[in-house]
Structure 1
C-alpha cells in the first residue's frame, strides 16, 4: 500500500531560467529550506525535490535550477524538454537581465513548440529598491505580452517566494487536468482509421 500511494502523488517539474546572478538559486533555496544564501557558487544545474501541500492535496515539486550561462544549447534544450512549468527570473537591479528574459522565453517556446506552457516572469531583488533599474510598468507590460503572471520577489525577505511556486504548480496541475479531460473526451465515440 505504502509504495503505491507514493507513486500516485503528483509531481510537478519546474525549471528556473534567467541570466547568471539574478538570484535563481537564492529563490530556490529560500523556497526549499527557508534560508537566504548571500554567497553562492555559480550553479551548474542543481535539482531539488520537496513534498508540498497544494490546495489541500499532497504533491511533489521538482525544481531544476539551471545556470544562467548555459554554454551548450543541447544541454539547455534537454532541460527545457523536461520541464512542465518555468520561472523566468531577472534582477530588478539589472536592466540587461530583464532584456534577456525574451531570449529565454523564445528558446523555451522553440524547444517545446508550445506558447501555452505554464510560465511566470519574476523580478527578483525587490528588497534593493534603491538600486532598481527595471520599472514595474515595463515588467507588467512584458508579462501581459506573454499572457503570464508577473511577481516581484526578494529571496532575502522571502517576499512572494512561496506564491510564485504555488501559482506555477497550480498552472501545471490545471494543464494536466485539462489534458486528461481532452483525452477522456477524445476516447468517447471516436474511430481510428489506420
Structure 2
C-alpha cells in the first residue's frame, strides 16, 4: 500500500490530476477541495498495489487539515501550475512545511509542473527543473487536460517511496547484523 498526498496552492489542478489518473477523464469545472480521499489499484514493477490518495486543500484557512494529511502521507506530489507564478513560488513554503512536519529532509516527493498544455506559460521548464534539482527530487511536467505525464508523475512517486523503503530496510538489517555480531568494532557508541 502507498499513502500519497497531493499538495499545492488552490487552482493548480490537484483534483484534476487525480481524476485523470484514476478515471481517465478531465474535470472541466473548478470545485474547491477541502479534503478528499481516493483509492486506486495499480501495478508497479509487476506487483499489484493499492494507492490511498488524499487531495489536500490549497486554501490557507484549512492548513491544519493539510498538516494532518502531511503527517499521514508517505509520499507527496508537490504541484504547481505553469501559468501561475504564485503557485510556483509557494513550492518552497510547502517543501519547508513538509520537512518540518515529517522531521526529515528524506521524504519521497515529486515536483509536478501542471497545465503544460496552456499557451500562457509563465514558469518555464528549466525553472522547475532547477528547483527540483535543488530539493534533490524528480521533476515531471503534466497536463491533467490531455493526460500528458500524469501516470508518470504517480509512478515516479511510487518509485521514490519504494526506494526509500528499501534504504530503510537495508539500514535496519545492517543495524541488526551489527547488534548480532556483538564485537565492539561493529557497535556504534
Give the TM-score normalised by structure 2.
0.91
Once the two structures are superposed, what CA deviation does each residue of 1:118-163 show, in whole Å capped at 9, x if it has no partner? Answer: 11111111111x2101111111111111011111100010000000
1:75 to partner: Cα distance? 2.5
From 129, 134, 140, give the equivalent of 2:123: 134
Alpha-carbon distance in 2 for matches of 1:98, 1:90: 5
Unaligned runs of 5+ in 2: none
Q: Does residue 149 in structure 1 map to residue 114 in structure 2?
A: no
From 78, 82, 86, give the equivalent of 1:92: 82
Alpha-carbon distance in 1 for matches of 2:65, 2:123: 30
- The answer (yes or no) to whether the contact 1:70–1:76 under 8 Å persists in 2 is no
What's the counterpart of residue 164 of structure 1?
153
1:61 to partner: Cα distance? 1.0
Once the two structures are superposed, what CA deviation does each residue of 1:23-67 show, in whole Å capped at 9, x if it has no partner? Answer: 000001100110101103111111111111001011111111001
Give the TM-score normalised by structure 1.
0.89
Alpha-carbon distance in 2 for matches of 1:107, 1:89: 14
CA RMSD of aligned residues (A): 1.4
> Which 4+ runs in 1 deviate beyond 6 A?
none
Unaligned runs of 5+ in 1: 1-10
Alpha-carbon distance in 1 for matches of 2:162, 2:61: 31
